Amino acid sequence: MSPIRRPRLSAAAYAEGVLAGDRLLLSRAITLAESSLPDDQALARQVMDQILPHTGRSIRLGITGVPGVGKSTFIERFGTYITGLGKKVAVLAIDPSSQRSGGSILGDKTRMEQLSHNPLAYIRPSAAGSALGGVAARTREALLLCEAAGFEVILIETVGVGQSETAVRNMVDFFLLLMLAGAGDELQGIKKGIMEMADGLAITKADGANKGAARQAQAAYKNALHLFPPTASGWIPPVLTCSAQEGNGLEAIWEMIEKYERHSRQKGYFEHQRRQQNLAWMHSALKDQLKQYFYSHPAVAGQRQRLEEEVKEGQTGALGAAHQLFSLFRESMRD
């Protein structure tokens, strides 16, 4: 579903609207940032420059876990809980797989029925993955725009699998891993790497007949986490249980996050991590731009298809073809 194209506004008009907390303009500014048109990108950069001094005053939370673990349901209830504390909440989703452009998150928007009607909440469907310039970069811009619009808690749901965990980990302050109580084999099926990225774990669906299993899983994960090296800030990730259905455990999760914020600010880690994330963002933006410049360069665009065919047919090696393309590019730069 592509949004209806409206005439572009000036950068100042977007920025003023966002800073005033105008949701329509916030949505339009995010759409602008997601656009792959060069003119839109240039305008979006100007908007970002103007809003940047007004960003950073939120707590950024990433929510991850296997499909079906209950991320969206959790966000609906947890987001509602946080608005109950009088805080403004924005929900974003990151979906790096361009094939799933919309379906899942539109479904989510209806699933987050309660939250989507909450005046303190804003839900932004995920960007349809554009070919160049990762969706992660777009989500980062959306996050900053939401901060500028005055949202105090940003929840980012990972959608799909693979790189999305790392991408979200690299833009949030606190990374929450949701887990299901398994049938005795709790530690199977989830990658150790993802557990190492988490600042906290919550066993979901701890309700009804599942309560006992959830408690067992909690104990098992606590033990397992002892075998992990401490995180960079010296924080030991707690393991909690919750039920989005019954609304249990949400308060304890929020307290854990607040405790983490106090801990990491006191250690100086909070700001350190944000600075590192900014630096990484700069380099990934640069990589995106280089890639885009490279592939759209006439010297490359003219030979790419031929070389791709040759590689597919086995006539040219992959490394050799890459080298040829790069040489063509370099030679044309010398002219």
Ligand X SMILES: Nc1nc2c(ncn2[C@@H]2O[C@H](COP(=O)(O)OP(=O)(O)OP(=O)(O)O)[C@@H](O)[C@H]2O)c(=O)[nH]1
Exactly one of 31, 64, 72, 316 binds Mg ion (CB under 5 A); that residue is 72
Q: Nearer Cβ to ligand X, position 244 or 321?
A: 244
Enter the tokens of residue 111.
């699933």
Q: Does 72 bind ligand X (CB under 6 A)?
A: yes
Q: Nearer Cβ to Mg ion, position 96 or 238?
A: 96
Residues pairing with 157 in the sheet: 63, 93
Residues 8-67 that bind ligand X (CB under 6 A): 65, 67
Q: Nearer Cβ to ligand X, position 126 or 264?
A: 126
Answer for the pair 237, 194: CB distance below 8 angstroms, yes or no.
no
CB of 75 to Mg ion, least distance (A): 8
Backbone angles phi, psi at 179, to 5 degrees: -135, 155
Instruction: Report the partner that residue 73 touches, choosing among Mg ion, ligand X, none (CB closer than 5 to 8 A by kind).
Output: ligand X
- DSSP for 188-213, written as a single string: SSS-HHHHHH-SEEEE----GGGHHH
Enter the tokens of residue 209.
């007949």
CB of 159 to ligand X, least distance (A): 6
Q: Nearer Cβ to ligand X, position 31 or 73?
A: 73
Q: Nearer Cβ to ligand X, position 28 or 205?
A: 205
| Residue 136: closest CA among 168, 162, 161, 104 | 168
Q: Nearer Cβ to Mg ion, position 71 or 77?
A: 71
Exactly one of 80, 126, 241, 243 binds ligand X (CB under 6 A); that residue is 243
Answer for the pair 51, 112: CB distance below 8 angstroms, yes or no.
no
Q: Does 70 bind ligand X (CB under 6 A)?
A: yes
Three-class secondary structure of residue 178 per DSSP: strand
Q: Nearer Cβ to Mg ion, position 71 or 205?
A: 71
d(CA 89, CA 80): 9
Exactly one of 28, 60, 71, 124 binds ligand X (CB under 6 A); that residue is 71
Answer for the pair 261, 59: CB distance below 8 angstroms, yes or no.
yes
Answer for the pair 270, 173: CB distance below 8 angstroms, yes or no.
yes
Exactly one of 71, 124, 138, 205 binds Mg ion (CB under 5 A); that residue is 71
The site that binds ligand X (CB under 6 A) totals a number of residues, namely 15
Q: Does 210 bind Mg ion (CB under 5 A)?
A: no
What's the Cα-to-Cα distance from 229 to each of 8, 70, 283, rounded to whole Å? 50, 28, 28
Q: Does 60 bind Mg ion (CB under 5 A)?
A: no
Q: Does 212 bind ligand X (CB under 6 A)?
A: no
Enter the tokens of residue 177.
């891993």
DSSP class of 245? T
Q: Does 217 bind ligand X (CB under 6 A)?
A: no
Backbone angles phi, psi at 93, to 5 degrees: -130, 150
Binding stretches for Mg ion (CB under 5 A)? 71-72
Binding stretches for ligand X (CB under 6 A)? 65, 67-73, 159, 204-205, 207, 243-245
